[in-house]
Amino acid sequence: LNGGVPVSTTDKPDLDYSYDQPGEFDKTCGTFGLDAFQLPHEECLEKYVCDAPLSNDPGLKSFAKCVDAMDCHMMTGMTTNAGPSDTTIGLFNYHMIPHHQNAVNMAKALLHSGVLDCPDLTLE
């Protein structure tokens, strides 16, 4: 807005780049950037969510696969070396970025799961 007047009347202004699009796995989870981190993954544990395949809840099984990919993504993003030229703040930031990316993905996946029932958040 410029003085209360819209600068553009279109919802999608021209950009000199295109937005990244979620992959097929991300579409099932409601997340972003996890397609390459589905298990099995060479840099990750065999699983992060134990016994989900034993559940009778298909929604939980699906959500667990998403959480496994989120944890793999975070684990690979937060595994690093701390060398002589690194700083405490740099190491902190290096870990916080994947941590917060994962937090956003977890919230998006939970919303996507459809299990939340929040008709009026003002009551919370």
Q: Are 28 and 114 a contacting pair, CB within 8 Å? A: no
Residue 41 confidence (pLDDT) above 90: yes
Between 93 and 14, the more confident residue is: 93
Confidence of residue 115 (pLDDT cuts 50, 70, 90): confident
Read off the DSSP letter of residue 105: H
Model pTM?
Answer: 0.77
Question: What is the arithmetic mean of pLDDT over 4-18?
Answer: 74
Q: Are 79 and 41 a contacting pair, CB within 8 Å? A: no
Helical H segments across 17-87, by residue range: 24-29, 58-78
Spatial separation of the C-alpha atoms in residues 68 and 39, rounded to whole Å: 7
Spatial separation of the C-alpha atoms in residues 75 and 93, rounded to whole Å: 15
Quick: pLDDT tens for 68-90.
999 999 999 998 887 777 889 98
Quick: pLDDT tens for 45-74.
999 999 887 888 888 999 999 999 999 999
pLDDT at 35: 96
